[in-house]
Amino acid sequence: MKIHTATFHKSVSALQGLPESSMPEIVFVGRSNVGKSTLLNTLTGRKALARTSSTPGKTRLINYFLINDCCYFVDLPGYGYAKVAKGERREWGHLLGGYISTRQSISLVVVLIDSRHPALDADRQMMDFLDHYHRPYGIVLTKYDKLKQKDKVRARRELKSIVPKTRFIVNYSALSGEGTAELLENLEHYTG
């Protein structure tokens, strides 16, 4: 797909506040700090569309971005970060889990995984959860620029063996732009 327009639509703190489900939603999930908000910015070519930070726990709400007036990209709070207070973590977990398990208009979940740690429990649990609710998903390996060549081969191999159901695996670097075109091509099928 080609992105012509990308605008912030709405932030939601509770499931009751979700917008009317009139368009397909492509959802971006992953551990805190994996690069979800950064990816939204590089993908849309809008530097400050989603807020990013080197400190984990930056995104705390469900953020809707309207793309080409035809679908939403949805940025979610991260999971699996120990330093966030327990109560807050539980709250995000409910919001995230409730949203993914009940929202019918989700057309695809993009799971972002840190390419340096491709097989962490938290990510496996997320993919089990997606399987359980029959949500189609694809994988983006983030921060690919930080990997040495031999680790690049290993990261993909490790992942492939544990996630046979993924629709795609894209290597991604927000620094170099690697993976942007390939990811957009894959998303095309889920925009309605």
Q: Write out the residues near ligand GTP by the rule CB under 6 A.
A: 30, 32-38, 52-54, 56-59, 77-78, 142-143, 145-146, 173-175
Query: Do residues 68 and 3 make contact, with C-beta atoms less than 8 angstroms apart?
Result: yes
> What, of Mg ion, ligand GTP, none, does residue 160 touch, CB below 5 to 8 Å by kind?
none
> What, of Mg ion, ligand GTP, none, does residue 107 touch, CB below 5 to 8 Å by kind?
none
Which residue number is nearest to ligand GTP in terms of Cβ? 78
Characterize 61-80 residue by residue with b for buried, 16 or more Cβ atoms within 10 angstroms of its Cβ, and e for exposed: bbbbbbbeeebbbbbbbbbb
Interface residues with Mg ion (CB under 5 A) are: 36-37, 58-59
Find the shortest distance in angstroms from Cβ 142 to ligand GTP: 5
17: DSSP letter: G
Which residue number is nearest to Mg ion in terms of Cβ? 59
| CA 122 – CA 154 distance, rounded (Å) | 19
Query: Do residues 45 and 92 make contact, with C-beta atoms less than 8 angstroms apart?
Result: no
| CA 95 – CA 60 distance, rounded (Å) | 10
> What, of Mg ion, ligand GTP, none, does residue 178 touch, CB below 5 to 8 Å by kind?
none
Find the shortest distance in angstroms from Cβ 98 to ligand GTP: 18
> What, of ligand GTP, Mg ion, none, does residue 35 touch, CB below 5 to 8 Å by kind?
ligand GTP
Q: For residues 60 and 116, which CB has a smaller minimum distance to Mg ion in the complex? A: 60
User: Measured between alpha carbons, how far is residue 104 from residues 26, 44, 142 in Å?
Assistant: 12, 24, 27
| CA 174 – CA 188 distance, rounded (Å) | 20
> What, of Mg ion, ligand GTP, none, does residue 171 touch, CB below 5 to 8 Å by kind?
none
Q: For residues 117 and 156, which CB has a smaller minimum distance to Mg ion in the complex? A: 117
Q: For residues 36 and 89, which CB has a smaller minimum distance to Mg ion in the complex? A: 36
Instruction: Phi first, then psi: give them for residue 174, nearest 5 degrees.
Output: -70, -25
